[in-house]
Structure 1
């Protein structure tokens, strides 16, 4: 299948970046391509997308910077998303592992990589206070 590791360096403390990115309520601020409405109910976290309501399940809060999550679209086939925040001096690096889905073309993988790179750039701008 194959994977691509996409990353961005953020000039903010690792704990601050982790706390912001670990809160599903902030997801729409830095990954608007997923959707703009994030809500929590008794069944968990959900985001409304153009394909319908998607369930989000996040790794429990931890001291290791692990922000892994599972995205379950209306089709029901879950997508596992590895995501890490790693200390780097006074700042940190956010590393997103983009996994190729079965049957995904190179063009589709390139498109998804561009979208993730855009979202990581927005995360950087939001946290460094340069988002417009």
Structure 2
């Protein structure tokens, strides 16, 4: 069994608008730990960018759906895809976001803790970005 860590975050921004923003892969470069200038779509539907945590990665996103599912995989080309569950749900006038990160095979405890810090920073950036749009 792989170790996991789940982040749950309330965002004071309407659910429908938050889902639309997050479901558009183009917006990922606005809040995630990627070099925005290098973030680009690929012909196969994946995206590619230089990351702040370890070189060039590819990104694959779940298709738009009616359930708030925003699962995605971040991977080195040629490696096995490891999907990360991400959901948004309405919470009163805002949005509840949950994200579960699984410890990767071969990932040590320090690297796992560092990844959790990067991810938490990304989601706090997202929260600030969306809440600023509401003002």
**Is the counterpart of residue 97 in structure 1 residue 100 in structure 2?**
yes
Q: What does residue 46 of structure 1 align with?
A: 47
CA distance in 1, matches of 2:73, 2:67: 18
CA distance in 2, matches of 1:105, 1:29: 29
CA distance in 1, matches of 2:58, 2:109: 27
Q: What does residue 2 of structure 1 align with?
A: 3
Q: What does residue 120 of structure 1 align with?
A: 123
- 1:84-118 per-residue CA deviation (whole Å, 9 max, x = no partner) reads 10111111111110101122222111111111110
CA distance in 2, matches of 1:77, 1:4: 20
Number of positions where the alignment pairs a residue of Structure 1 with one of Structure 2? 128
CA distance in 2, matches of 1:46, 1:66: 18
Residues 11, 128 of structure 1: 8 Å contact kept:
yes
CA distance in 2, matches of 1:77, 1:40: 20
TM (norm. structure 1) is: 0.87
Residues 7, 120 of structure 1: 8 Å contact kept:
no
**Is the counterpart of residue 19 in structure 1 residue 24 in structure 2?**
no
Residues 56, 71 of structure 1: 8 Å contact kept:
yes
CA distance in 1, matches of 2:34, 2:104: 17
* C-alpha RMSD of the superposition: 1.7
Structure 1 residues not aligned, in runs of 5+: none
Q: What is the CA-CA distance between 1:71 and the residue it aligns to?
A: 2.1
**Is the counterpart of residue 78 in structure 1 residue 81 in structure 2?**
yes
Q: What is the CA-CA distance between 1:7 and the residue it aligns to?
A: 2.1
- 1:54-82 per-residue CA deviation (whole Å, 9 max, x = no partner) reads 33221111111000012231352323111
Structure 2 residues not aligned, in runs of 5+: none
